[in-house]
Structure 1
């Protein structure tokens, strides 16, 4: 009996790595893509230790042909695809008034174009193979609530939510389910370095979360595993908040919009190493 196969964009670190490893532990073979092949190779070695077969490829998700080739090669290697996780994303904190057209374009192309291109390529394969499937996109709570400093990410993630719901309505007849996950604050290498190292940031963040803790990568990975599984066979067009109920309290980063620009600019300096 063949193992199910999951394809994950942005699979070389952070949430993508965590999801890849949990899927591997859970009996899936995996195809992962990202920009840095050495990162993908490291994840692949860990996944293989769990018994998974792995296909990796350096991919620019903004380029349809690049994404399509990766998925076609994965299908060729494994004989099938079962699930797609659209995780590749670009983001940084920036006040809307200071965001350059180039920065806007860079983030929206990775987030929204990349998700659509991967979903379209996956959908074509599943429909051609007459095989049901699952697509899950990682978005953000602020895509619906709004959050200062995230207009490029929030707008494109809201677009991703619309993509998932539109495809859920359009591709349901093919047995393709499409959902999204809205993570709350998560401990990753990047956030630990750039966000939670900021004085008082972690304590303030926890105060906004009813469950009283910052999430772990595995919290999101478990949600993704569930949505891809047969146990979620009648769930489509849904967005799953995995944030300890933080969305009920508003903001994501734990500051009040009235505090701006102080904390935001301080955070930007910390993240960019600015001396001004």
Structure 2
């Protein structure tokens, strides 16, 4: 049972990139359950259709599905136009889409670096830039990005993702200062270990590292996608009306344990 009122986001329009799986799909579902109209964005139409079916079964409401490669500025502009045509001006932009794979730093190629930076950092820029005008014209709304824990400390074996996410943390701080006077809040969430399908395969050694990681979490368990979605609901709601420029760690205390 949700700790939030069912109408928490009633009347709001949200765009969630990477919304076809994992944390993005969970955020989209939580926003649908709490009254928002939601557009989910991903490159693969089949994945979007499957996600929409799952979300409709779960919530009784269907999201708008918009296939889009967020690296492509023209495709992103088309996505933004479609959302506005279907729902009107978005109030909430959730930058969740990401690429990631393990590669030791000494083996890092320029192609590998660009692959991750283009999706994570440039994609976040493209989507936000395409949608921010409506929020600024309205004088309200929020931008939320999903990053990694304590990005400035680095991300061993995933230095391309660490660099990209550190860039998003910096954008979050800069945008919050520029757009705050115009009523737009900008925040980020840094999830701790959440055993989504993608993270299990790409970060947790196919699952072999999960017991070791779990032992290190002070709260004694891995995170669930719903833990991140609840934080997103808070930051995108009026309950966080005076919260901006924050990167919120949602990690069961793991950050303090390794500080």
TM-score (norm 1): 0.85
* 2:221 equivalent to 1:209: no
1:48 corresponds, among 24, 37, 56, to 56
Runs of 4+ in 1 over 4 A off after TM superposition: none
Shift of 1:44: 1.7
* 2:100 equivalent to 1:91: yes
Equivalent position of 1:138 in the other structure: 146
Q: Which moved more, 1:182-191 or 1:83-92?
A: 182-191
Shift of 1:25: 1.0
Does the CA contact (< 8 Å) of 1:142 and 1:154 recur in 2? no
* 2:122 equivalent to 1:110: no
Shift of 1:46: 3.1
Partner-residue secondary structure (3-state), 2:234 = helix
Provide the rounded CA distance (Å) in 2 between the counterparts of 1:62 and 1:198.
30
> How many equivalent residue pairs?
249
* 2:137 equivalent to 1:157: no
Provide the rounded CA distance (Å) in 1 between the counterparts of 2:110 and 2:233.
36
Shift of 1:28: 1.1
* 2:71 equivalent to 1:62: yes
For structure 1, the 5+ residue unaligned runs are 252-276
2:129 corresponds, among 111, 114, 120, to 120
Equivalent position of 2:196 in the other structure: 188
Does the CA contact (< 8 Å) of 2:176 and 2:244 recur in 1? yes
TM-score (norm 2): 0.90
Q: How has the CA–CA distance of structure 1 residues 58 and 177 changed in structure 2, closer, same or farther, with 3 Å as cutoff?
A: same
Provide the rounded CA distance (Å) in 1 between the counterparts of 2:196 and 2:33.
20
User: CA RMSD, aligned part only?
Assistant: 1.8
Provide the rounded CA distance (Å) in 2 between the counterparts of 1:27 and 1:4.
7
Q: Which moved more, 1:203-212 or 1:104-113?
A: 203-212
Does the CA contact (< 8 Å) of 2:53 and 2:62 recur in 1? no
Does the CA contact (< 8 Å) of 2:92 and 2:143 recur in 1? yes
Equivalent position of 2:4 in the other structure: none
* 2:86 equivalent to 1:77: yes
Q: Which of the two has higher C-alpha Rg?
A: 1
Equivalent position of 1:221 in the other structure: 229
Partner-residue secondary structure (3-state), 2:167 = helix
Does the CA contact (< 8 Å) of 2:155 and 2:161 recur in 1? no
